[in-house]
């Protein structure tokens, strides 16, 4: 479906949605996009960033968060309200 047609067919009241509703929408969109990852282009700078992060892991300097914990921290932060 062409983007112009979708814009007319799907209007989301973003100004009326809560932050939690918007985040759920983003998650739904990402889940849909993830079904065909080969269609998501990787920007040219991405490899450099990933290599830097891999170096931090090898050096033992990387810090990790469980996704559920990170998501809770994001949803609970004052900047997201």
At 9-68, the pLDDT tens digits run 678 899 999 999 999 999 999 999 999 999 989 998 999 999 999 999 999 999 899 999
Predicted TM-score of the model (pTM): 0.44
What SS3 state is found at 62?
coil
Provide the residue ranges of all domains of the chain, joining segments of one domain with +: 49-81
What gap in Å lies between CA 37 and CA 24, rounded to an integer? 20
């Amino acid at each position: 479906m062409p983007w112009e047609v979708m814009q007319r067919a799907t209007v989301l009241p973003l100004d009326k949605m809560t932050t939690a509703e918007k985040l759920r929408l983003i998650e739904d969109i990402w889940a849909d996009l993830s079904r065909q990852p080969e269609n998501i282009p990787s920007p040219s700078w991405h490899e450099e960033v990933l290599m830097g992060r891999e170096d931090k892991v090898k050096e033992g300097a990387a810090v990790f968060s469980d996704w559920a914990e990170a998501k809770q921290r994001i949803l609970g932060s004052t900047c997201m309200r």
